[in-house]
Amino acid sequence: MFQIAIDGPSASGKTTIGQSVAKKLNFVFLSTGMVYRAIAYLHYHENLSFAALLTQIPKRVKLEDNCVLIDHMNYGNLLQSEQVSKWTSAIATNQLIRQIAVKMQQAFAVNQNIIMDGRDVCSVVLPRANLKIFIDADVKIRAQRRLVQLNLPNQKLPEIINDLTQRDQQDATREIAPLKRDETARILDTSNLTIEQCVMIIENWYVSLLGKK
């Protein structure tokens, strides 16, 4: 089995690239951020107590290729909303939540050719991954991508740049699972690359490593 771990900041392109590479290589894909979004949605939308949430997660949140299910339903687009993003920021830094989520993610990766993306996949979730990648991009380019993703007017660009800059600072300095590049991860700056070019680079890395296994 071959594991590819991808870390990177918000809007760096890691999920889009990860999905594209997974499709090309016929790998299973999981965006670990969607796990935390599903947990946050469950917590706030149903107004569950924290104690109740901890017991409900294993029963109601399930992982499948390229999606996270709540009660066997895919809430994909809803989980991408700005409101859920705000809820997730509070949930994702809780140590107990992370322990549960990481165990789910690691169990999902067993006996599968898999690509996972997130913020601590290389160092925590899949520390023995065959290929580790840190995907990054200039914050202005990342903001432009987020603008398009959310279908927002250009006037929102300065606000998004500010939001991403603050998020980067929070992610890098938080006590639990801060965003940092694993020393063994290869850096892929996507600022001036197309998705196709990024996929080709990662595919070449994969083929090179596959020949050494």
Task: Give me the pLDDT at residue 170, please.
Answer: 86
Task: Give me the pLDDT at residue 52, please.
Answer: 95
Task: Give me the pLDDT at residue 59, please.
Answer: 95
Q: Are 117 and 18 a contacting pair, CB within 8 Å?
A: yes
- The CATH number of domain 3-197 is 3.40.50.300: yes
Tell me the residue type at 116: M
Per-residue pLDDT of 114-154, as tens digits, reads: 999 999 999 999 999 999 999 999 999 999 998 998 888 99
Task: Give me the pLDDT at residue 116, please.
Answer: 98
Give the residue numbers of the binding site.
8-16
Paired tokens of 88: 């997730």
Interatomic CA distance for residues 64 and 29, integer angstroms: 9
Per-residue pLDDT of 76-92, as tens digits, reads: 888 988 788 888 878 88
Per-residue pLDDT of 22-44, as tens digits, reads: 999 999 999 999 999 999 999 99
Task: Give me the pLDDT at residue 115, please.
Answer: 98
Task: Give me the pLDDT at residue 164, please.
Answer: 93
Percent pLDDT > 70 in the chain is 100
Q: Are 108 and 63 a contacting pair, CB within 8 Å?
A: yes
Give the residue numbers of the binding site for ATP.
8-16
Per-residue pLDDT of 157-211, as tens digits, reads: 999 999 999 989 988 888 888 888 999 999 999 999 999 999 999 999 999 998 8
pTM: 0.93
